[in-house]
Structure 1
Amino acid sequence: MAWKSRTRNLQVFDTELSADTVEWCPVSTSQHILACGTYQLQKGAGEEDATPSRTGRLYLFKFRREGSMSPPLTELQRVDTPAILDLKWCHVPVSGEAVLGMAAATGELRLYTLSDGQEGGRSLQALSSLEVGAERLTLSLDWSTGRMNSSDVRLVCSDSAGCVSVLSLADGTLTALSQWKAHDFEAWISAFSYWDTQLVYSGGDDCKLKGWDLRVGSSCPTFTSKRHSMGVCSIHSSPHREHILATGSYDEQVLLWDGRNMRQPLSESPLGGGVWRLKWHPTHEHLLLAACMHNDFHILHCQKAVEGSGGACPVIASYILHNSLAYGADWSQLSLEEAAPCSPAAAAEPKESLTESGGHLRIQYESPTASFDTSLEDDAGQYIPEGIAAPCTSPAAGPVLSSVEDCPSLSCLLASCSFYDHMLHVWRWDWTPDEAQQESEQC
C-alpha cells in the first residue's frame, strides 16, 4: 500500500518538570480536554545518602480550533502532585463525569473528576485515592472500559515491587479486589483485555509477558511469554478486533499477538529506541501509535499483520521534533473537519525563547539525531520531516475522522511529550492512501 503522509506541529508547551505521560479525554463531551503528567527526581539535600524525593505536576489543557493567530492549547489548571508515572481517562463517564486515573510515585492510585467551574471553566477535582503498596512506585494503570462498556468499572495497575493490583470503582470509592506478585522485578505495564475484562496482561523488567484470568485466581498465569528479549513496558488491547494485542519492549520491538495463541506473535516490527507506550487509534482499527524513547514517535499500519499476512508493520508517519526521551503519546478523538491552527512563526526564533503566553514556545527545529542536514518548511513556515510530502494549503472538506476502514483520508490530532527537555507537543497528521486518492479523483 502506498500513501501520502504529513505531520505538522501545532504548538509546543514547556512543562517545566520532566514530562512522561499525556492523555486526551475520550468522553464525547470533553474530547477537547488534554491532561499531561510530569515526573521530577529531586536529589536530597545535605547528606550523600539522603533519600531523593519525586515530585510531579498535573496539567489540564483545552484545545480549540478557532483562530489561526493564537495557540490552540490553553492551560486550564496545574496541580502539584507526587511524581506521575501514568495517566489514563476512563473511557466512559462515571456518575455523569469524566474521570482521570493517575499512577503516583507514592504507591498510590489517584482519581480525579473533570468538573465544570465558574464561568464555564473546567477543572480536576480529587475523587478518591488508594495506596496499593508502601515504599513502591505505581507504574501503570488501565481501565476495563476500553470498548465503552460501563457496566463494571475496574482498574488494573502495576508497581515497582513487581505486583499487579485490580481495583473496583463504585460510588466514587476505590476498593482493592486483588493483588499478587506477577514479576521478579518492576512490573512496568498492566492492561485489560477489553473484550474479556476478566483477562489481564502484565509485562515486567524480567523480560516476561504474562496473562492472568481473574476467574481462576492469580496463583498461576494463563501464559508466560519470553518472546521479548528485554523488559516489557507497553501493552494495549485492541478495542476494535477481538484477541488482538500489541506489546512493546526495551528490545525495540513491537509485537502483535492473537490472544488465542501466545506462543508466536503475528508480527514483529523493529522500531528502535525502546517502545515505552503503544496506543491503538480510537476509530481506525489498523493504526498503532508508538512512543519509542530514544527514537521518536511513529505510526504503524497493522492491517496485513492483523489479517495474518505476517511481516513487519510499515511505519507510515513519524514525528521527530522532540529532543529528548519520547515517553507519552496519545490520539485525540476530536474531529478536525477544518484546517487546524498552527502556532504563529513556529520556526522564527530559537527554541529557548519564551513568548508572553506563559510557557508556550516558538521553536527553531533541529535534528534530534543529526540524521539530516537541512530543515524543510512549507509555505506557512511549518517544519516538514524529511521524506514527507508538503501539506496542502486548503482545508479538508467534510468529516475527516471516520470509523469506516476504507475512508479516503484521515486528519488526526495527537499529543506527545518528552522527558528531559520537559516538552509537550500538539500536532496534526494527515494521511491519504494513494489508491483512495486516485478513486476520489475519478469520481
Structure 2
Amino acid sequence: MGWQSRTRSLQVFDTELSADSVEWCPLNQWSHILACGTYQLQKNEAKAGVESTTPSRTGRLYLFQFHSQGSFTPPLTEIQRIDTPAILDLKWCHVPVSERPVLGMATANGEIELHTLIDAQQGSCLERAMSTELGPDRLALSMDWSTGRGESSDTRLVSSDSTGSLTVLSLGEASLNAISQWKAHDFEAWISAFSYWDTQLVYSGGDDCKLKGWDLRLGPSSPTFTCKRHSMGVCSIHSNPHREHVLATGSYDENVLLWDGRNMRQPLSETAVGGGVWRLKWHPTQEHLLLAACMHNDFHILHCQQAMDGNDGPCPILASYILHNSLAYGADWSWLPLSSPPPSSPQEPAPAIVEFTESGGHLRIQYESPTASFDTSLEDDSGRYIPDYTLPPEKTAVPSPAPLPSLGESSPSVSCLLATCSFYDHMLHVWRWDWSPEETETVSGGDETEPAPS
C-alpha cells in the first residue's frame, strides 16, 4: 500500500522583526494559543562622531489564537504583542502552574522571563510573572522545562548562555531561583535540555562541537559523557517524551543524530538534512515523528521508527515545507486535533517570487546563528567577486528513501497543524501536514508540496 504525504500552507504572518522561535501551548484548554518570538540586531547610533560598536538587541513577543472558521477566513488572529529584549528561545511549561499556562522566555539581556496566560475581558493575554538574571554580560540562548512528560512534581528549568554556562532553576510559588550554575562549554552553549524520563539528567551542546551529559545528583564538576560525534557546533537537543532513552540532536554540520542515552558512543542513526539543524521537536503523540528546522534547507518531518527499533540507516523524510524564503529557525507541532479535510487552495498565500537575470553566482554561509551579524560577498565558481547582487544560499536537495514506511496499524493516517518561522524575511507560517494511505503504489519522494519558485 502506498502513502500520500501532503503539506498545505494555511496562513502567513509578517512579524516585522526577525523571527526565530515559535511555540504552541501544550495544555488542552489553551492548545489554540501560539507564541512567536523575534530577535533584531541593531547598531547603536554614533555619539559625538564616534560610532558605537555595541549593538542593541530588541525583540517582540507575539501571541495568537487559532480558530479554523472555513477556507476563506484566516485562522490565525493576533491577540497581543509585547516589546521585549531580543528573544532567543520560548518554551511553554507542559503542566499548569497555579492552574494557568506559563510561557518561559530566554532573552538577549541574560534573563529568563516567565509570563502567565490569563483570561481578560477582551480574551486571553500574557502577563509577566517573574524573571531572573543568569549573570552579567551574557545572552540566554536556550531553555527547557523538566515537565516534558506532563509530570508536575518539582518543576524546574535549565538554560544555556553565551558564556558556555548552564543554569538550573527551580520554580517556586512567587520566584524563580537558580539551584546551580557551571561552565559547561568552551564557547557558546547553544542548547540545553532535560531528559524527560529522569529529570536529574541534563544534556547540553555548544559551539565547541561537543555534546555533553550531566547528572545533577553528582554535581557539575564533570560531565557523565562528552561526545564529539558532531563535527560542528551542537545547537539542538530534544528528549523523546514517548520513548525512554531516545534523544535527538542537531548541529551546524547538517546532520540529525538519534541516540540511545545508555550508549552515547555511537548514534542509532545519522540523517543528512542539508542545512544546519537549529531546532528539533518530537511530535506530541506520535513517538516516531521528528520535526527539524534546517536553517538553509527548510523544514522536514522525519520518520524515526526503524532507527529507534535498532535498524541501521538514515531516517526517511516524509515531508518538507519549502515556502519560507529565509533561515529556518523556529518550528513546532500544534497539540490541536485536526479532523476536518484540508482547506481548498484559494486561501493559500503565494510566496514571493524573486528572479535574477545574472547567473553563475552563489553565496556560501557555512556557519551562522541568530546572535551574530556577518558580512557576505557573492563570488563565482572561480572565486571572483560579483558586485551588487544578493542571492540566498543554494539549497541542498534531500533525497527521501523509498518506499516510505507506514505509521503503523494503530494509526492509519495522521493530520497535523504546525507553525514555523524564518529569520531575515521575518515570516511566521501556519500549515498542515496530512499523511494517509492511498491506492497508488508509492508516492515519489513522499511529498506533494507545491514546488518553490525557482
Give the structure-1-normalised TM-score. Answer: 0.85
Corresponding residue for residue 357 of structure 1: none
**For 1:145 and 1:152, how far apart are their aligned partners in 2?**
9
The answer as to 2:429 corresponding to 1:422 is: no
Partner of 1:328: 330
CA contact (8 A) 1:320 1:368 kept: no
Instruction: Please tell me whether the aligned partners of residues 285 and 405 of structure 1 are also in contact (alpha carbons under 8 angstroms).
Output: no
2:70 to 67, 71, 76: 67
Give the corresponding residue for 2:358.
none
Alignment equivalent of 2:109, drawn from 100, 106, 109: 106
Instruction: Find the counterpart in structure 1 of residue 80 from structure 2.
Output: 77
The residue that corresponds to 1:22 in the other structure is: 22
Q: Using the alignment, how far apart are the partners of 1:268 and 1:54 within structure 2? A: 35
Q: Which moved more, 1:47-56 or 1:92-101?
A: 47-56
Alpha-carbon deviations, 1:131-182, whole Å to 9, x = none?
0011110000000000000011000000000000000101031010000000
Identity of aligned residues (%): 72
Distance verdict in 2 for CA 1:82–1:368, change over 3 Å: same
User: Within 1, Cα distance between the matches of 2:268 and 2:189?
Assistant: 24
- Is it true that 1:307 corresponds to 2:309 in the alignment? yes
Given that 2:9 and 2:349 are in contact with CA atoms closer than 8 Å, whether structure 1 keeps it comes out as: no
Question: Is 1:86 the equivalent of 2:105?
Answer: no
Give me the whole-angstrom Cα distance separating, in 1, the residues matched to 2:351 and 2:113.
39
Match 2:198 to one of 192, 196, 200: 196
Q: Shift of residue 345 of structure 1?
A: 4.5
How far off is 1:16 after superposition? 0.1
Conserved? CA contact 1:253–1:271, under 8 Å: yes
Q: Find the aligned partners of 2:82 and 2:349 in 1 and give their Cα distance.
A: 31
Residues 255-294 of structure 1 mapped to structure 2, 5 A cutoff: 255-294=257-296
Counterpart of 2:15, as a letter, is: T
| AA at the equivalent of 2:79 | L
Q: What is the 5 A alignment of 1:400-439?
A: 406-433=410-437
Structure 1, unaligned runs of 5 or more: 353-366, 373-385, 388-402, 439-443
Residues 29-63 of structure 1, C-alpha deviation per residue, up to 9 Å, x if partnerless?
10000000000001111133431100000000000
Q: CA RMSD in A?
A: 2.5
1-structure distance, mates of 2:238, 2:275: 19
Deviations 1:193-219 (A, max 9, x none): 000000000000000000000001000
Q: Does 1:9 align with 2:6?
A: no
Match of 2:242 in 1: 240
Paired position in structure 2 for 1:358 = none
Q: Match of 1:13, as an amino acid?
A: F
Structure 1 stretches of at least 4 aligned residues deviating more than 2 Å after TM superposition = 47-50, 339-352, 367-372, 403-406, 433-438
Q: Deviations over 1:41-92 (max 9, x none)?
A: 0111113343110000000000001232210000000000000000000001
The aligned runs of 1:35-46 (5 Å cut-off) are 35-46=35-46
Q: 1:44 to 1:215 in 2, by over 3 A?
A: same
Measure, in 2, the Cα distance between the counterparts of 1:298 and 1:238.
17
Call closer, same or farther: CA 1:405–1:165 in 2, change over 3 Å.
farther
Q: CA deviation at 1:346?
A: 3.3
* 1:350-361 map, 5 Å: none
88-97 or 334-343, which deviates more: 334-343
Shift, 1:106, TM fit: 0.2
The equivalent of 1:97 in structure 2 is 100
Partner of 1:55: 58
| Amino acid across the alignment from 1:114 | L
CA distance in structure 1 between the partners assigned to 2:349 and 2:13 by the alignment: 15
Q: 1:194 to 1:135 in 2, by over 3 A?
A: same
2:413 maps to a residue whose letter is: S
The 1:154/1:184 distance shift into structure 2, 3 A limit, reads same
Give the partner amino acid of 1:272. Answer: G
Structure 2 unaligned spans of 5+: 355-390, 401-406, 443-454
**Whole-Å separation in 1 of the counterparts to 2:261 and 2:318:** 26
Q: How does 1:132-147 map to 2 (within 5 A)?
A: 132-147=134-149
**Alignment of 1:181 onto 2:164:** no
Task: Check whether the contact 1:328–1:418 (CA below 8 A) recurs between aligned residues.
Answer: yes
After TM superposition, give the deviation of residue 342 of structure 1 in Å. Answer: 6.4
Helix, strand or coil at the partner of 1:279: strand
Question: What CA distance in whole angstroms lies between the structure 2 residues aligned with 1:345 and 1:172?
Answer: 45
Q: 1:188 to 1:436 in 2, by over 3 A?
A: farther
1:29 is paired with a residue of what secondary structure? helix
Alignment-derived partner of residue 377 in structure 2: none
CA contact (8 A) 2:12 2:349 kept: no
**Contact residue 321 and residue 368 of structure 1 kept, 8 A:** no
After superposition, give the CA deviation of every residue in 1:264-291 in whole Å (9 maximum; x if it has no partner). Answer: 0000001011000000000000000000
**TM-score, length basis structure 2:** 0.83
